[in-house]
Amino acid sequence: MESLRSAGYAVINDVFGTEEITGILDTINNIDTSGPAFRKTNDLFAIRRFLKEVPGIRPFIFTNRLREIISQLFGKDYFLVKSIYFDKPEQSNWFVAYHQDLTISVDQKIPCEGFDQWTIKNDQFAVQPPIALLENIFTIRIHLDDTDENNGALKIVPGSHRKGIYRPETIDWNKEQEVVCNVPRGGIMIMQPLLLHASNRTVNNNKRRVIHLEFSDQQLPGGLQWAEYLALNNFT
């Protein structure tokens, strides 16, 4: 898709129907959220390693329609490497400043050339890989609610994914353009991790529930392993 290559993002409407979204939400509402992968605050509810923690959700997510989109846009060699569920409540004051997604999640810390800035949170290792690896990842965000500038729709800087490591404090707004990516319920946003993006506070008392999925077609070097690894033919 030309807009994805040039601008770093694309929005596709009507990928998921009412029945599929209901199945997703019913499954989430009936799980035990007491484990370490679940983050619950007044401003945010999140499930890390979502497809591992809630395996029953997979048939509702990896529909024929989504598989077709992945296959057409990226081919058959990509596999899932990260999954998160976000629920930004109606009165959330949580916001995210402009940033790029510069880290990947791995199963353990192994020193490896080109991989640095190691962190660990809730038994999850993250590391910044070589930029070439980041350039080959794509993210799909499944929107379970109508999302616009009033309830935390992503703001992005088109084309910023083609500028390498782009520090937010160096953005020249005389040259760059900000775009708000409104996505209706059942739609998806596809984006490159290096795309500068941000999210405002919710001001309209509407939820913003999103499933965040990251895909790659590259195995990691030096004994490193993705923290999540699921091939498309396992999404059943």
The number of domains in the chain is 1
Domain CATH for 34:
2.60.120.620
- Residue 227 per-residue DSSP state: S
Measured CA to CA, the distance from residue 203 to residue 214 in angstroms comes to 28
Among the residues of 44-185, which ranges form H helices? 50-53, 58-61, 64-74, 131-134
Q: Report residue 228 CA to chain centroid gap.
A: 13
* Residue-range definition of the domain harbouring residue 89: 2-234
Query: Would residue 193 be called left, alpha or beta, if left means φ above 0 and alpha means ψ between -120 and 50 degrees?
Result: alpha
Instruction: List the chain pLDDT tens, one digit each, 236 residues.
Output: 677 889 999 999 999 999 999 999 999 988 877 776 677 666 668 889 999 889 999 999 999 999 999 999 998 899 999 999 988 877 667 789 999 999 999 999 999 999 999 999 877 899 999 999 999 999 999 999 999 999 989 999 999 999 999 999 999 999 999 999 999 999 999 999 999 999 988 888 888 999 999 999 999 999 999 999 998 775 54
Considering Cα of 5, then 228, then 199, then 47, what sign does the dihedral take? Answer: positive
pTM: 0.93
Q: At 25, list the tokens.
A: 């939400």
Three-state DSSP state, 71:
helix
